[in-house]
């Protein structure tokens, strides 16, 4: 096998629990497993990362310590409101606090060279901006740079506020300098300016299926039990229509929601006589195991094909039927059927094998051969 030198740059990594952290962690582990020399530049945790390096035979270098902090939203009502408004304005105007990643990444890459493949992970997109600032003809860092994008930036339509016009400069700069833009689905291409479409390659989110245990005993749920895990977005990934419908159902049920965005769900907990339950996030493997104990799982669609939740791959691993709910267009008949254990209209994830991390890494390696 042709051993390559791989550099991965990301703002989040193990032990953080997020789709982008999982993306970075699984890629790093599998690149190393397939025999490549792997270096990860990310915020280093001296308590955990040395053991991780030894176990997975890779190197983790410290990205640097962030100094920019968001305003606190704790305290009384006024302080909380002030913090939320300040954070929103600073983010809209300056991409604060993530804009600091541009400087940190640029600085970290100035001492790096000789790699075959550089993979930068967004979000946040200032990670890409930092690579673009550091990479020059005299200092290319790697033969090939793949900018991996979970969500689009300028053309992202999930946020209620569009990015301000001057951020287009940063997007255009990194897209021009990158050799490839890797996105999770074909539909994601529409989230980028047409002049860069020739650089886009589709490489989905990947996981090690064998390393994720699921519940295999017969189910013993007394009532229809189902779950959801993830964030909510009012108006586009919005649970309220389904929750309102469930609260009016005479049939008993149990809907367990793993989320940190509790505001949209909390009013329905009491209305449902606690049949709707909120739980805090747990580690991904534990979450998949818990979901595999349920009768089915729920996915709230984004209302756009530009973004595909990585949770769908997690759902596929659970081997449970998936109830797809479009915001503003609740499939009442399908929901009722699911509550009666009729899953004939379940959402099917096709070509599950392409999400296996070994195939995802092989797809990245093809970029070094084009």
Mean per-residue pLDDT over the chain, rounded: 91
Buried residues in 52-69 as b, exposed as e (16+ CB within 10 A):
bbeebebebbebbeeeee
Structure tokens at 144: 């090939």
Instruction: Kindly indicate the confidence band of residue 307, based on its pLDDT and cuts at 50, 70 and 90.
Output: very low
Taking the C-alpha atoms of residue 147 and residue 89, their distance in angstroms, rounded to an integer, is: 27
Instruction: Kindly indicate the confidence band of residue 229, based on its pLDDT and cuts at 50, 70 and 90.
Output: very high
Other C-beta atoms closer than 10 Å to the C-beta of 19 total 21
Give the chain's radius of gyration (CA, Å): 22
Residue 299, CB-side half-sphere exposure with 13 Å CA sphere: 21
Kindly report, residue by residue over 51-90, the tens digit of the pLDDT.
999 999 999 999 999 899 888 888 788 888 888 899 899 9
Is pLDDT above 90 for 306? no
pLDDT of residue 158: 64
Of residues 198, 207, 147, 214, the one with CA closest to residue 19: 207
Is pLDDT above 50 for 257? yes
Helix H segments across the chain?
19-33, 49-56, 77-94, 100-109, 126-134, 168-177, 240-247, 266-271, 284-291, 311-318, 332-339, 357-366
Kindly report, residue by residue over 157-215, the tens digit of the pLDDT.
666 678 999 999 999 999 999 999 999 888 888 889 999 999 999 998 888 877 788 99
Kindly report, residue by residue over 105-156, the tens digit of the pLDDT.
999 999 999 999 999 999 899 999 999 999 999 999 999 999 999 888 888 8
Question: Is-contact 7 115, C-beta < 8 A?
Answer: yes
pLDDT of residue 302: 67
Question: Is-contact 269 278, C-beta < 8 A?
Answer: yes
For 152-295, strand residue ranges (E) read: 180-183, 200-202, 225-229, 254-258, 276-279
CA 239 to chain centre: 19
Domains of the chain with bracketed CATH: 5-203 (3.40.50.2000), 210-351 (3.40.50.2000)
Predicted model pTM: 0.79
pLDDT of residue 309: 55
Taking the C-alpha atoms of residue 360 and residue 25, their distance in angstroms, rounded to an integer, is: 13
- How many degrees, rounded to 5, is the angle at CA 245 between CA 240 and CA 246? 100
């Amino acid at each position: 096998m042709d051993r390559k030198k791989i550099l991965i740059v990301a703002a989040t990594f193990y032990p953080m629990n997020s789709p982008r952290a999982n993306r970075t962690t699984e890629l790093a582990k599998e690149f190393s497993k397939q025999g490549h020399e792997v270096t990860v530049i990310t915020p280093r945790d001296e308590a955990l990362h040395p053991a991780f390096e030894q176990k997975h035979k890779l190197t983790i270098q410290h990205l640097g310590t962030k100094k920019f902090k968001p305003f606190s939203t704790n305290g009384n009502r006024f302080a909380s409101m002030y913090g939320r408004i300040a954070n929103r304005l600073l983010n809209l105007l300056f991409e604060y606090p993530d804009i600091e990643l541009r400087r940190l990444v640029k600085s970290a890459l100035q001492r790096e060279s000789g790699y075959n493949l550089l993979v930068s992970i967004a979000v946040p997109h200032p990670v890409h901006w930092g690579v673009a600032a550091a990479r020059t003809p005299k200092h290319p860092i790697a033969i090939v740079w793949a900018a991996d994008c979970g969500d689009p930036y300028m053309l992202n339509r999930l946020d209620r506020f569009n990015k301000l016009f001057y951020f287009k400069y940063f997007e255009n700069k990194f897209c021009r300098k990158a050799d490839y833009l890797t996105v999770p689905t074909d539909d994601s291409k529409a989230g980028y300016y047409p002049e860069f479409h020739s650089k886009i390659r589709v490489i989905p989110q990947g996981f090690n299926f064998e390393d994720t245990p699921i519940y295999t005993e017969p189910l013993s749920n007394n009532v229809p039990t189902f779950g959801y895990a993830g964030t909510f977005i009012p108006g586009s990934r919005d649970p309220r229509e389904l929750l309102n419908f469930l609260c009016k159902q005479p049939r008993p049920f149990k809907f367990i929601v793993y989320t940190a965005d509790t505001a949209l769900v909390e009013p329905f907990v009491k209305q449902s006589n606690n049949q709707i339950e909120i739980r805090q996030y747990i580690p991904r493997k534990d979450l998949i195991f818990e979901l595999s104990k349920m009768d089915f799982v729920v996915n709230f669609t984004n209302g756009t094909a530009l973004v595909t939740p990585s949770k769908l791959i997690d759902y596929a691993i659970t081997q449970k039927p998936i109830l797809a709910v479009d915001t503003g267009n609740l499939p009442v008949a399908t929901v009722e059927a699911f509550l009666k254990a009729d899953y004939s209209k379940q959402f099917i994830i096709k070509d599950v094998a392409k999400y296996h991390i070994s195939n995802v890494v092989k797809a990245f390696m093809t970029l070094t051969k084009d």
